[in-house]
């Protein structure tokens, strides 16, 4: 399957972007979270919120999310941007795992987390205490696929060092700015400020 994305140009004309080209644009933003060009999504002629896309797929955004692979796949399949990222990162995605609560790499409470395995794939953890609805899940899985896109290809030891470095805060800012915010995740602004403050503290 090939998904195509549409790049809007200032003159009103357009260029059809293949999935891989759009992902390449996204990766450029990851490496520079302060990029002034704008977010990945501002370049793409679609700003359909995840809430609307779920509704269009007959999934209640506020419905209770049940932690099964089947439900996860149904949501991945219903939201175009999640499907695009999944298409790109599929071979690096390991298992989906759940726990009541989670702490991230810095010991902070998290709704979801991505952890590299020795074989280079990433397991994705979800906190049942915080991921309550289908919409919560869609923001969470999108966010974690974004991390996988940026972190894949590292060796296990590189990754272990990476998550202890300030670069992980930059990556968080970028994922929140470029993925969650344009997708309509109401937590984005708070999260961006939070990681910006962490970065300031270590400077
Ligand atoms: Zn994150």
Name the percent of the chain lying above pLDDT 70.
Answer: 76
In eight-state DSSP terms, residue 108 is -
In this prediction, residues 113-138 reach a mean pLDDT of: 95
More confident residue, 129 or 15: 129
Q: What is the pLDDT of residue 28?
A: 65
Q: Are strands 122-127 and 93-99 parallel, antiparallel or unpaired?
A: parallel
* CA 166–ligand 1 middle distance (angstroms): 13
Say how many Å lie between the CA of residue 143 and the centre of ligand 1.
6
For ion ligand 1, residues whose CB falls within 5 Å: 172
Structure confidence at residue 139 as a pLDDT band (50, 70, 90) = very high
What is the rounded CA–CA span in Å between residue 9 and residue 6? Answer: 10
Bridge pairing between strands 4-8 and 14-18: antiparallel
Who has greater pLDDT, 12 or 174?
174
Q: How much distance in Å is there from the Cα of 75 to the middle of ligand 1?
A: 19
Q: Ligand 1 centroid vs 173 CA: distance in angstroms?
A: 8
Ligand 1 centroid to residue 172 C-alpha, Å:
5
Between 31-45, 51-65, 111-125, the lowest mean confidence (pLDDT) is in 31-45
The structure tokens 């919409």 sit at 135
> Exposed, middle or buried: residue 19 (CB in 10 Å: 0-12, 13-18, 19+)?
middle
Output the pTM of the full model.
Answer: 0.81
Percent of the chain with pLDDT over 90: 53
C-alpha 147 to ligand 1 mean position (Å): 7
> Which pLDDT tens digit goes with each residue over 161-194?
999 999 999 899 988 888 888 888 999 999 999 9
| 126 CA from centroid of ligand 1 (Å) | 12
Distance 199 CA to ligand 1 centre (A): 15
Q: Choose among 49, 84, 85: nearest CA to 186.
A: 49
DSSP summary character for residue 152: T
pLDDT higher than threshold 50 for residue 4? no
């Amino acid at each position: 399957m090939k998904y195509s994305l549409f790049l809007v140009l200032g003159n009103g004309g357009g260029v059809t972007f293949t999935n891989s080209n759009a992902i390449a644009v996204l990766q450029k933003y990851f490496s520079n979270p302060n990029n002034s060009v704008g977010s990945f999504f501002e370049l793409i002629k679609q700003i359909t919120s995840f809430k609307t896309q779920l509704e269009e797929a007959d999934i209640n955004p506020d419905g209770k999310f049940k932690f099964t692979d089947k439900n996860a796949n149904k949501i991945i399949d219903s939201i175009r941007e999640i499907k695009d990222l999944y298409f790109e990162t599929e071979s690096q995605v390991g298992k989906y795992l759940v726990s009541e609560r989670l702490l991230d790499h810095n010991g902070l409470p998290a709704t979801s987390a991505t952890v590299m395995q020795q074989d280079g794939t990433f397991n994705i953890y979800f906190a049942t205490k915080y991921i309550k609805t289908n919409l919560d899940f869609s923001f969470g899985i999108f966010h974690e696929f974004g991390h996988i896109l940026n972190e894949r290809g590292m060796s296990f030891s590189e990754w272990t060092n990476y998550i202890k470095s300030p670069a992980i805060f930059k990556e968080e800012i970028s994922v929140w700015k470029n993925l969650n915010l344009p997708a309509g995740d109401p937590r984005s602004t708070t999260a961006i400020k939070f990681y910006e403050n962490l970065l300031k503290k270590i400077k």
